[in-house]
Amino acid sequence: MATTYVKFAPNLERIEADFDQKVRRITDDIQQYITNSPNISGVNYHTRDAHAKGYAAVRAEFEILNDLPAELAQGLYAQPGRYEAVVRFSNGSARVTTDQNSGLAMGLAIKIMGIQGKVMLEEEADCGNFDYNLINWPIFFCNSAEHYQYIDKLFLKVNDYFAKGALGRLKFAYDWLTGIGTFFPNKDSWNEFRAFSSFKKIKPENCLLHSFYTMGAVRHGDYVAKLRATPVKQYADQVTRREIDVKAAGQVFRPALVAELKEHAYEFEIQIQLCKDLKRMPIEELTTEWPESLSPFVTVAKLRIPQQDVSGEDNFPIMEHLSFTPFRCLEANRPMGNLQLTRKEAYRKSSTLRHQLNNAQRQEPKTLQDLFGS
């Protein structure tokens, strides 16, 4: 019996009439945070509002596999090919601080260079690059632009809450569940708080050993899907600095990553999970993990990271001046859903302002040589 997958249609998304107003409030908060970020993090540059601390920018290759089934050979994956890529490993926190105080949420941002077709950022439609912004947890802690208006405020100040101990954590929970005192706790705010709390389950291990997810749904040509990057076992088995003691030093994740890449190459599989049931695999509920028992992840590409030395200080400006956004993508592979759509304008304004304040040119690289030189 043939497997039936959910077909993409614009009406699968729920976009409210006042959506643009909500996006403006969110982006205003983000821009204010970035403007003040040197004081907040105690650094001499303006940081991102999330994933502020990068671990490294590394050279990579992105290979789309041959002979994919029709339901997987969609959009970017319609034709096999090899592309130069750059990857930024990062911590998910909004602040640059010690690894012990940063939490264990991590990011894997991928920029694939030299693709064919126009991307969804109108001002750079012909840039030829395609980005993914992934984190090391399969769900997110917010489901809508409406709730992100206050959840974003809490996320940007989470360190301040937690620094006050038990009372600070209690106040954080109250503010989350009540929309900072604007409503009584409800099913949605409880689900989102439980999703945020689930991030405590992330293991303190080398970032090479994590799987990284889109969290939300993406269009996959004629279908709907989620995507992840997961380690190839034979490469993961080579990692010797596996469990990380966050109390051992102020910075422990970057040194462990840098040391591994000095010694050997690494590889992730890029996998697609097609949607089969909108009730069990909802688009607008990023707090819900799609069951792999219903629809397993299937490999469509390889992300190969060659052995390299990224220990030098020259890696920092490369890492910081890169711009990643999930909407630097083809229409056929775009993020889906109410909350995800806020990321288009939020990431664009965040990146533009950050580069302006840092007196850095915001320009998409064409090749790895543009970034790393020879």
Quick: pLDDT tens for 105-124. Answer: 999 999 999 999 999 999 99
Who's near 344: CB < 8 A, 6+ residues apart?
A: 120, 121, 325, 326, 327
Pairing of strands 81-91, 298-305: unpaired
- For 288, half-sphere exposure in the C-beta direction (CA atoms, 13 angstrom radius) is 15
- For 33, half-sphere exposure in the C-beta direction (CA atoms, 13 angstrom radius) is 24
Q: Checking phi first, is residue 208 left (phi over 0); if not, alpha (psi -120 to 50) or beta? A: alpha
Residue 63 tokens, joined: 């290979």
Torsion of CA 232, 272, 119, 303, to 10 degrees: 10
Extract the runs of DSSP E, i.e. beta strands, from 92-148: 106-113, 129-135
Taking alpha carbons only, the member of 12, 8, 126, 133 closest to residue 75 is 8
Q: pLDDT-based confidence at 2, cuts 50/70/90?
A: low
Share of residues in the chain with pLDDT > 90 (%): 98
Residue 108 tokens, joined: 């894997």
Q: Which domains does the chain have, with CATH numbers?
A: 10-138+205-372 (2.40.180.10)
Residue 308 reports pLDDT greater than 90: yes
Rounded to a whole number of angstroms, the CA Rg of the chain reads: 20
Type of residue at 60: A
CA distance 85 to 102: 27
Residue 72 reports pLDDT greater than 80: yes
The chain-wide mean pLDDT, for the chain, equals 96
H-run or E-run covering 165: helix 165-177
pLDDT digits (tens, 9 = 90+) for 87-96: 999 999 999 9
The answer to whether the CB of 291 falls within 8 A of the CB of 242 is no
pLDDT (average), residues 341-368: 96
CA distance 166 to 155: 17
Torsion of CA 41, 46, 49, 51, to 10 degrees: -80
| Apex 231 CA angle, 94 and 141, nearest 5 | 35
Residues forming a β-bridge with 132: 110
pLDDT (average), residues 290-316: 98
Taking alpha carbons only, the member of 152, 154, 133, 156 closest to residue 144 is 152
Residue 37 reports pLDDT greater than 70: yes
Largest CA distance in the chain: 61
Q: Is the pTM of this model over 0.85?
A: yes
- Looking at residue 221, its pLDDT comes to 98
Burial of 270 from C-beta contacts in 10 A (0-12 / 13-18 / 19+): buried
Taking alpha carbons only, the member of 270, 78, 285 closest to residue 190 is 285
Residue 268 tokens, joined: 């992730």
CA distance 230 to 209: 8
CA distance 42 to 107: 22
- Looking at residue 16, its pLDDT comes to 87
Q: Between residues 17 and 278, which one has the greater pLDDT? A: 278
- Looking at residue 1, its pLDDT comes to 41
Backbone phi, then psi, for 191, in 5-degree steps?
-60, -40
